[in-house]
């Protein structure tokens, strides 16, 4: 049995087909934004709706639709879910052994100025957490930390959500970018390069924007040297890492460089006045309750030890990203180096690429070409495996027992079972919409907006996706291929459109219901989510508009920036 995609399957009419193709997406929006279902319930039910639409409206054989969903679900677990599990595991190891308290104290001991604390904690430290763990940890930890220092809870939550704009696209070891490769077929490195030629502009701007929101334009100018050191060092590292290393490390390296550069700079430069909030006396009681216990001054050796797990992670991920080693880890190395040949043997044994039953080469596009469908299981070459190795090495650095190490891994698996199920179902949904032709139908319809306007609105699609799902990864999986199809049909570079989905999506994180709920819970504002939403919505719209303008320009006068 075979299946030929028909993009006007409903009444041989593109508009009607597009309306039907929208049903699973609109259902997903409704399930999360209106009904506020749990993520895994919304994901699984949306997948079910997509299967029904694919079979009934698009006439896709039921067996093929189910196997397509299974292909997506497997991709959602490996590599995507595996990265999330291992990165959160590494982070939890540092928390359980007390090393994270030392990391936190090392950041807080640098300055008393609230503006500079916001740069260090909300911008640099938050970006580091986004890169290392993601998953709500950056906003939750950095916002609670700012409140503990004496920041107004609403401001602390809002500032951390806005600061988190810069690193979201490369969060959790680059998973939003890596995830795009599956449904779009565009190499993750190419997407990484393009995103790395968009977000650094935001990364330079965000620190200044944060301080203006927090203290006003005049007081922002007072610390402009520090703002430039923070933003420029972050943006430059983000560009270099994303363009020449890969999508896994831009956040971690940019955050570390920014943190280190600003800390060193503050050893030699101080603002003329120390800025503190006018109402800090009133907040003193609240701050005292949330402030971490005062600890003895940590030595340089203790600080280095505390940061070591993430330094090891950076080193291992860097090695995993070297092209020749990457080929060996997946069993595709053909050179003569003895060590790489040995690794290649292991990598080959741990790489499985079975065909998807009843699906591989059974679906034909409109040109009559068969579409390959395989389960891609690169166990040794997966970034998650590199992180697990870093966690293994870190076991000896932080001095945790094997029993506690294994228990922590078990706790991580237990905590993340529903998030991983959510991702698996969302990726399954993405694969079903692609295989049935639904995403192509929507792309063809969106293309009607024309070559002039679509480049500007392209990032808004990613922004909407992140607002609904709370995840740049999920938004990329939902709309990445749609962006590619639309761009191709109007003569826009698909790499630019796919990257714009991720870059635009970062501005949606600060208004997503999930992010707002996490931030409010972290700073003791449960039930005040609507206040935080009103605080962030205007900034979200402003920032996504900036990305839209940049994408529009890169599609025309700045086309030389596209890799």
- The stretch 470-482 carries a mean pLDDT of 80
According to the model, what pLDDT value does residue 338 have? 93
The confidence score (pLDDT) of residue 65 equals 96
The more confidently predicted of residues 553 and 273 is 553
SS3 (DSSP) at 523: coil
**Sign of the dihedral through C-alpha 71, 76, 79, 81:** negative
Q: What are phi and psi of 314, to 5 degrees?
A: -60, -45
pLDDT tens by residue, 488-537: 888 889 999 999 999 998 898 888 766 776 677 667 776 666 778 788 88
- Kindly state the tokens that stand for 336: 């003569």
What's the pLDDT score for residue 226?
95
The two three-digit tokens of residue 469, written as one number: 């799902």
**Cβ pair 429, 475 in contact under 8 A:** no
C-alpha 103/C-alpha 544 separation (Å) is: 32
* Three-class secondary structure of residue 292 per DSSP: coil
Specify the higher pLDDT residue, 416 or 190: 190
Nearest of 547, 504, 535, 544 to residue 214 by alpha carbon: 535
* pLDDT tens figures, 122-151: 898 888 878 876 656 677 777 877 876 778
- At residue 282, the pLDDT reads 54
Instruction: State yes or no: pLDDT of 286 exceeds 60.
Output: no
Question: Over pLDDT 90: what percentage of the chain?
Answer: 41
- Name the helix (H) or strand (E) containing 385: helix 383-398
For the cut 90, the answer to whether the pLDDT of residue 40 exceeds it is: no
Distance in angstroms (rounded) separating the CA atoms of residues 554 and 503: 13
pLDDT digits (tens, 9 = 90+) for 215-269: 889 999 999 999 999 999 999 999 999 999 888 888 889 999 999 999 999 989 9
Q: How confident is the model at residue 283 (pLDDT cuts 50, 70, 90)?
A: very low
* pLDDT attached to residue 308: 93
CB 541 within 8 A of CB 165: no
- CA dihedral of residues 428, 430, 436, 437 (deg, nearest 10): -170
Confidence of residue 548 (pLDDT cuts 50, 70, 90): very high
Q: CA-to-CA distance for 57 and 283, rounded, in angstroms?
A: 59
Sort 207 into a burial class: Cβ within 10 Å, 0-12 / 13-18 / 19+: buried
Mean pLDDT on 78-94: 84
Q: How many degrees, rounded to 5, is the angle at CA 256 between CA 252 and CA 258?
A: 120
Q: Using alpha carbons only, give the angle 160, 162, 167 rounded to the nearest 5 degrees.
A: 85
- Closest by CA to 161, choosing from 127, 114, 110, 198, is 127
Examine the pLDDT at 473 and tell me if it is beyond 70.
Answer: yes
Phi/psi at 352 (5° precision) = -125, 125
Confidence of residue 409 (pLDDT cuts 50, 70, 90): very high
Contact call for residues 169 and 195 (beta carbons, < 8 A) = yes
Mean pLDDT in the chain?
86
Contact 236, 201 (CB under 8 A): no
Does 281 have pLDDT greater than 50? no
DSSP SS3 for 134? coil
Tell me the mean pLDDT in the region 9-34: 87
Identify the three-state secondary structure at position 57: coil
Strand bridging mode 363-364 / 3-4: parallel
The whole-number pLDDT of residue 174 equals: 85
343-386 per-position pLDDT tens digit: 999 999 999 999 999 999 999 987 788 999 999 999 998 888 98
Among candidate residues 462, 396, 395, the one with its CA nearest the CA of residue 179: 462
Distance in angstroms (rounded) separating the CA atoms of residues 366 and 92? 49
Q: Is the dihedral of CA 232, 207, 196, 261 positive or negative?
A: positive
Query: 95 pLDDT exceeds 90?
Result: no
Task: Name which residue leads in pLDDT, 139 or 434.
Answer: 434
Q: Quote the DSSP letter at residue 356.
A: P
CA dist., res. 139 & res. 514, Å (int):
11
Q: What is the pLDDT of residue 25?
A: 84
What gap in Å lies between CA 461 and CA 449, rounded to an integer? 13
Query: Alpha helix (H) ranges present in 470-528?
Result: 472-490, 494-505, 513-522
Cα radius of gyration (the chain):
23
Q: How confident is the model at residue 296 (pLDDT cuts 50, 70, 90)?
A: low
* Full-model pTM: 0.76
Mean pLDDT confidence for 36-55: 89
C-alpha to C-alpha distance for 539 and 546, rounded to whole angstroms: 11
φ/ψ of residue 459, rounded to 5: -65, -25
What does the pLDDT read at residue 196?
92
Give the integer Cα–Cα distance in Å for 504 and 457.
Answer: 9
pLDDT digits (tens, 9 = 90+) for 55-82: 999 999 999 999 999 999 998 888 878 8
User: Do the beta carbons of residue 291 and residue 149 sit within 8 Å?
Assistant: yes
Q: Do 193 and 542 touch, CB atoms closer than 8 A?
A: no
CB 49 within 8 A of CB 23: yes
Long-range contacts (CB closer than 8 Å, 24 or more residues apart) made by 136-142: 136/514, 136/515, 136/518, 137/88, 137/91, 138/164, 138/167, 138/171, 139/164, 139/515, 139/518, 139/519, 139/522, 140/518, 140/519, 140/521, 140/522, 141/522
Instruction: Give the residue-averaged pLDDT of 89-94.
Output: 88
């Amino acid at each position: 049995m075979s299946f030929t995609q028909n993009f006007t399957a409903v009444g041989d009419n593109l508009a009607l087909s597009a309306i039907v193709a929208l049903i699973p997406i609109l259902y997903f929006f409704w399930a999360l934004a209106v009904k506020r279902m749990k993520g895994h319930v919304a994901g699984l039910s949306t997948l079910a709706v997509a299967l029904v639409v694919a079979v009934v409206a698009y006439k896709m054989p039921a067996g093929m639709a189910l196997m397509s969903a299974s292909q997506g679900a497997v991709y959602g677990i490996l590599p995507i879910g595996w990265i999330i599990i291992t990165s959160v595991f590494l982070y939890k190891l540092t928390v359980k052994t007390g090393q994270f308290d030392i990391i936190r104290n090392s950041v807080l001991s640098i300055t008393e100025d609230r503006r500079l604390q916001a740069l260090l904690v909300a911008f640099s430290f938050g970006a580091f957490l986004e890169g290392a763990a993601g998953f709500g940890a950056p906003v939750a930890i950095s916002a609670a930390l700012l409140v503990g220092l004496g920041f107004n809870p609403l401001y602390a939550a809002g500032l951390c959500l806005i600061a988190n704009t810069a690193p979201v696209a490369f969060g959790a070891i680059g998973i939003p970018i890596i995830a795009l490769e599956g449904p779009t077929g565009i190499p993750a490195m190419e997407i990484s390069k393009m995103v790395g030629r968009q977000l650094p502009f935001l990364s330079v701007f965000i620190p200044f924007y944060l301080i203006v929101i927090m203290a006003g334009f005049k007081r922002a100018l007072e610390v402009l040297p520090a703002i430039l050191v923070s933003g420029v060092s972050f943006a430059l590292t983000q560009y270099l890492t994303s363009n020449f290393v890969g999508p896994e490390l831009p956040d971690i390296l940019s955050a570390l460089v920014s943190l280190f550069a600003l800390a060193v700079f503050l050893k030699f430069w101080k603002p003329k006045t120390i800025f503190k909030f006018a109402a800090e006396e009133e907040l003193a009681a609240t701050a005292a309750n949330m402030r971490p216990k005062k600890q003895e001054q940590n030595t340089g050796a203790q600080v280095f030890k505390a940061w070591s797990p993430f330094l090891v992670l950076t080193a291992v991920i860097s090695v995993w990203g070297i092209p020749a080693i990457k080929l060996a880890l997946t069993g595709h190395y053909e050179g003569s180096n003895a060590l790489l040949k040995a690794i290649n043997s292991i990598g080959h044994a741990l790489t499985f690429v079975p065909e998807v039953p009843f699906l591989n080469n059974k679906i034909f596009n409109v040109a009559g070409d068969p579409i390959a469908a395989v389960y891609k299981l690169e166990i040794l070459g997966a970034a998650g495996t590199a992180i697990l190795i870093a966690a293994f090495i870190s076991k000896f650095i932080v001095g945790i027992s094997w029993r506690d190490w294994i228990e922590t891994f078990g706790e991580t698996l237990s905590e993340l079972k529903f998030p991983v199920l959510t991702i698996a179902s969302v990726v399954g949904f993405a694969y079903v919409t692609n295989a049935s032709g639904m995403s192509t139908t929507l792309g063809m319809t969106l293309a009607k907006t024309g070559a002039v306007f679509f480049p500007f609105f392209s990032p808004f699609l990613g922004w909407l996706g992140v607002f609904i799902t709370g995840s740049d990864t999920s938004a990329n999986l939902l709309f990445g291929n749609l962006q590619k199809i639309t761009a191709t049909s109007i003569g826009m570079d698909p790499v630019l459109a796919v990257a714009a989905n991720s870059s635009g999506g970062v501005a949606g994180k600060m208004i997503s219901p999930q992010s707002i709920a996490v931030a409010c819970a972290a700073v003791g504002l449960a039930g005040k989510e609507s206040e935080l939403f009103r605080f962030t919505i205007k900034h979200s719209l402003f920032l996504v508009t900036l990305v839209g303008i940049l994408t529009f320009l890169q599609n025309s006068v700045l086309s030389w920036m596209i890799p």
